[in-house]
């Protein structure tokens, strides 16, 4: 009897999905050597296989091959440290297979489809689990709310190593679509593919949507039915500019690494996909967005708890009476600095009120050479923010509130999908960029 992971691959093959212009079954046949190498290395059902620094169609193909072996792929750019001293098999970008040096955890992952290393934009990166039921629920969301159909050509130029890109691409494969997941090398080439009618459904990040909208209109009439932006906010100005260039408004996609896409739509952050229900805030109210889901949310790999059906997103939203859900801000809880918890919201809010400030990110990092000591930094983004106003804003905080070292920059560093790049900011603190 096939496992739930193996059934996912069978379903994709039966759907007639194509990857890079070829049938999925043909693509997987070409990866028989990787399967043989993994089996020779000792991989068994339920084992963890890290896919390190693979991209686009190669990552998707190896992921499916790992599912065929009933193992659990971890998508990442750099091999993560597993909790509790665990180890894993590894496939790198050269398709080289490496076996672990010690035993690997196999318990409690029977329903897990894959794992992501979170971006770290809301804290330290975590190894996040996605269940098979969650992957299928996301695919159903795309099928019903876009809708995504078997005859669709789907271009996914965003990184599929991240949950948004992988969720979009896997949903397209499950729904029987033809998937082009080649990463963007030149924006002009991507625009040419769109203008030539090569895409019906397009997955974008907000930064990539801006780049596309800036490309001069060559008079072509692209056969673009859906363009969806995930992993970031979309302004109405960008939506109008994109529509003027490509003839369609940008749709929104909202979710987290733990849940995949749970909302989609053409306004605000979208509306819940089938099987997801808003339980807080109430209609007409403002508060932290909390949802219930029929697909269990498995959480982090280190979590020992039973998969949950309620998810607290950490985002403050306004649930308007017309059904629109508008993002307001990311809820920042208490930050722990040198063993003491502080009110991060008070500091962040004080800095955001300064004229000229576009964005703020608070960062706590261990001091180089003295890991037991935390250093507190505040990245303040804005083209012309005056230091004297920053100092004045911090002075108005309560006397017992620690003052962060302020790092000024024109824009916050972001990763490939437009989220704050915590790793890059940590590097900047080490270099002393101010």
240-256 per-position pLDDT tens digit: 999 999 999 999 999 99
Structure tokens at 86: 């665990």
β-strand partners of 91: 51, 97
Q: How many residues are present in the chain?
A: 434
Burial 268-305 (b: 16+ CB within 10 A, else e): bbbbbbebbebebbeeeeeeebbbbbebbbbbbbebee
Q: Is the pLDDT of residue 204 over 60?
A: yes
pLDDT at 192: 85
pLDDT at 335: 75
Q: Give the whole-number percent of the chain exceeding pLDDT 70.
A: 91
Distance CA 161, CA 431 (A): 28
Instruction: Give residue-wise pLDDT tens across range 136-158.
Output: 999 999 999 999 999 999 999 99
Q: What top-level class would CATH report for the domain 1-331? A: alpha beta
Q: Are 121 and 149 in contact (CB under 8 A)?
A: no
Please provide the average confidence, as pLDDT, over all residues in the chain: 88
- DSSP secondary structure, 37-49, as one string: HHHHHT--TT-EE
Instruction: Give residue-wise pLDDT tens across range 156-180.
Output: 999 999 999 999 999 999 999 999 9
Q: Where are the domains of the chain?
A: 1-331, 334-431
Q: Is the pLDDT of residue 16 over 80?
A: yes
Q: Is the pLDDT of residue 218 over 80?
A: no
Specify the 3-state DSSP secondary structure of 97.
strand
Place of tokens 């069978």: 10
- DSSP secondary structure, 230-242, as one string: ESS---HHHHHHH
Q: Is the pTM of this model over 0.85?
A: no
Closest-CA residue to 208 (of 416, 9, 6, 42): 416
**Which CATH number among 3.40.50.920, 3.30.300.30, 3.40.50.12500, 3.30.980.10 corresponds to the domain 334-431?**
3.30.300.30
- DSSP secondary structure, 158-226, as one string: S-TTSHHHHHHHHHHHHTT-EEE-PPPS-HHHHHHHHHTT--SEEEEEHHHHHHHHTSPP-S------E
Q: How many other β-carbons are positioned within 10 Å of the β-carbon of residue 117?
A: 22
Distance CA 245, CA 201 (A): 16
The half-sphere exposure of 395 on its side-chain side, counting CA atoms within 13 A, is 6
């Amino acid at each position: 009897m096939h496992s739930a992971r193996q059934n996912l691959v069978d379903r994709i093959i039966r759907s007639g999905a194509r990857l890079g212009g070829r049938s999925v079954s043909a693509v997987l046949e070409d990866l028989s050597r990787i399967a043989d190498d993994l089996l020779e290395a000792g991989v068994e059902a339920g084992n963890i296989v890290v896919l390190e620094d693979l991209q686009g169609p190669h990552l998707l193909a190896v992921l499916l091959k790992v599912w065929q072996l009933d193992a659990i792929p971890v998508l990442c750019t750099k091999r993560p440290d597993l909790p509790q001293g665990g180890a894993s098999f590894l496939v790198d970008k050269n398709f080289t297979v490496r076996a672990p040096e010690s035993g690997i955890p196999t318990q409690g992952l029977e329903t897990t489809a894959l794992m992501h290393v979170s971006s770290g934009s809301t804290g330290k990166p975590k190894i996040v689990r996605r269940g098979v039921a969650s992957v299928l629920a996301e695919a159903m969301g795309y099928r019903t709310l876009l809708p995504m159909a078997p005859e669709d050509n789907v271009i996914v130029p965003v990184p599929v190593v991240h949950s948004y890109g992988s969720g979009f691409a896997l949903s397209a494969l499950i729904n029987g679509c033809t998937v082009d997941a080649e990463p963007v090398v030149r924006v002009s080439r991507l625009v040419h593919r769109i203008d030539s009618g090569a895409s019906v459904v397009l997955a974008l990040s907000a930064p990539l949507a801006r780049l596309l909208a800036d490309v001069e209109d060559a008079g072509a009439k692209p056969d673009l039915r859906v363009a969806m932006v995930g992993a970031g906010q979309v302004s109405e100005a960008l939506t109008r500019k994109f529509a003027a260039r490509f003839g369609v408004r940008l749709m929104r996609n909202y979710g987290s690494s733990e849940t995949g896409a749970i909302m989609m739509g053409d306004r605000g952050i979208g509306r819940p996909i089938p099987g997801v229900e808003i339980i807080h805030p109430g209609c007409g109210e403002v508060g932290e967005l909390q949802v219930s889901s029929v697909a269990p949310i498995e959480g982090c790999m280190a979590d020992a708890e039973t998969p949950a059906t309620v998810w607290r997103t950490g985002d403050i939203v306004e649930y308007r009476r017309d059904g629109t859900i508008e993002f307001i801000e990311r809820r920042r809880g208490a930050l722990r600095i040198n063993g003491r918890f502080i009110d991060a919201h008070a500091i962040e809010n004080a800095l955001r009120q300064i004229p000229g400030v576009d964005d703020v990110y608070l960062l706590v990092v261990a001091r180089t050479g003295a890991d037991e000591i935390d250093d507190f930094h505040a990245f303040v983004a804005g083209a012309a923010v005056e230091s004297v106003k920053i100092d004045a804003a911090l002075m108005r905080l309560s006397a017992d509130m620690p003052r962060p070292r302020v790092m000024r920059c024109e824009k916050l560093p972001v990763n490939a999908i437009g989220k704050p790049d915590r790793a890059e900011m940590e590097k900047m603190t080490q270099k002393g960029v101010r």
